[in-house]
Amino acid sequence: MKTIKGPAIFLAQFLDNVAPFNTLDSITSWVADLGYKGVQIPTWDARAIDLQLAAESKTYCDELKGKLADKGIEITELSTHLQGQLVAVNPAYDVMFDGFAPDSVKGNPKARTEWAVQQLKYAAKASQNLGLKAHATFSGALMWHTVYPWPQRPAGLVDQGFTELGNRWLPILDAFEDVGVDLCYEIHPGEDLHDGVTFEMFLEKVGGHKRANLLYDPSHFVLQCLDYLQYIDFYHERIKMFHVKDAEFNPTGKQGVYGGYQSWVNRAGRFRSLGDGQVDFGSVFSKLTQYGYDGWAVLEWECAIKDPVQGATEGAPFIDSHIIQATSKVFDDFAGGGADIELNKKILGI
């Protein structure tokens, strides 16, 4: 067994145009003061990183790491959640997802996809230059509009959809293989990879690619009524990243999983700050430790009620208190003895 690293924090929800959240230098000083040891960096936000420069310049990456190290902060992983979304977009979502793209490719789905693929390839090289082992992204979605279909899905639609999704991601996965970095899909509603079954179908289409791995976030499984602890039993070998995010699901006679088009605060299922939801983090950390997960525990703050500064302030000690120092000693060793074949024969009666 190994000890999980942390606490760390995903900066995406905290970057802002006001100090101390408006530059990487000031926001990392803020999180260091809160007790965080690592930051996960959103690569679409120029206030945090220049992704293309990080891919092309080892010097830039070394300087970036050095500045953070002076504060006791490591970069845990990079994220391309928004760019990954644009690798596969059904036309029904073109208008909404164009907001994730630069002006130069808006309104041009083909160019937008090409831009997104290049962004992922930059992220692979940038991760290598930063000495990182894993990278976070979304899969995108060609079939999400058919997730609860009426009329029924035509025969062969799902297989064809996953074939196309695999074809789009395979060159990207190969780019991550070339640099020795795991590409970790956050399994998430709204993505074609939104549960274990869909990940398995995708994995088959990419030939079980060794770099196709998972970002584990139990909050999304609470909202799907999926067993987030057994999920670890099934997929622990592919779990290479961990978002520590809480959630609650309180169905009523008026609404359930789908939320009735309500705002987050009025949904039956909603994300909460750590400790305010229903996730059994004691069991989550125990299972991940049992299976030898040695990556980072990264706070992703999303809460419809609590202020983000309070959520971040409470998050570091919460994660720290759940990290288990993996034992190297068996508790009943004191009562044992060395291997003795003859003694064992006597006990067995042979």
Q: Would you give per-residue pLDDT tens digits along the chain (350 residues)?
A: 899 999 999 999 999 999 999 999 999 999 999 999 999 999 999 999 999 999 999 999 999 999 999 999 999 999 999 999 999 999 999 999 999 999 999 999 999 999 999 999 999 999 999 999 999 999 999 999 999 999 999 999 999 999 999 999 999 999 999 999 999 999 999 999 999 999 999 999 999 999 999 999 999 999 999 999 999 999 999 999 999 999 999 999 999 999 999 999 999 999 999 999 999 999 999 999 999 999 999 999 999 999 999 999 999 999 999 999 987 776 666 567 678 899 899 989 99
Q: What is the amino acid identity at position 282?
A: G
User: Could you write out the three-class secondary structure of the chain?
Assistant: CCCCEEEEEECCCCCCCCCCCCCHHHHHHHHHHHCCCEEEEECCCCCCCCHHHHHHCHHHHHHHHHHHHCCCCEEEEEEEHHHHHCCCECHHHHHHHHHHCCHHHCCCHHHHHHHHHHHHHHHHHHHHHHCCCEEEECCCECCHHHCCCCCCCCCCHHHHHHHHHHHHHHHHHHHHHHHCCEEEEECCCCCCCCCHHHHHHHHHHCCCCCCEEEEECHHHHHCCCCCHHHHHHHHCCCEEEEEECEEEECCCCCCCCCHHHCCHHHCCEEEECCCCCCCCHHHHHHHHHHCCCCCEEEECCCCCCCCHHHHHHHHHHHHHHHCCCCCCCCCCHHHCCCCCHHHHHHHHCC
d(CA 35, CA 19): 19
pLDDT number for residue 333: 64
For residue 25, the enclosing domain spans 5-348
Q: Which residues contact 219 (CB under 8 A, 6 or more apart)?
A: 243, 245, 246, 247, 271, 277, 279, 302
d(CA 344, CA 339): 8
What's the structural domain count of the chain?
Answer: 1
**pTM greater than the 0.85 cutoff:** yes
Nearest by Cα to 242 from 2, 52, 10: 10
| Cα distance between the two ends of the chain | 35
d(CA 188, CA 61): 30
CATH number of domain containing 273: 3.20.20.150
pLDDT number for residue 220: 98
pLDDT number for residue 316: 98
pLDDT number for residue 331: 62
pLDDT number for residue 335: 62
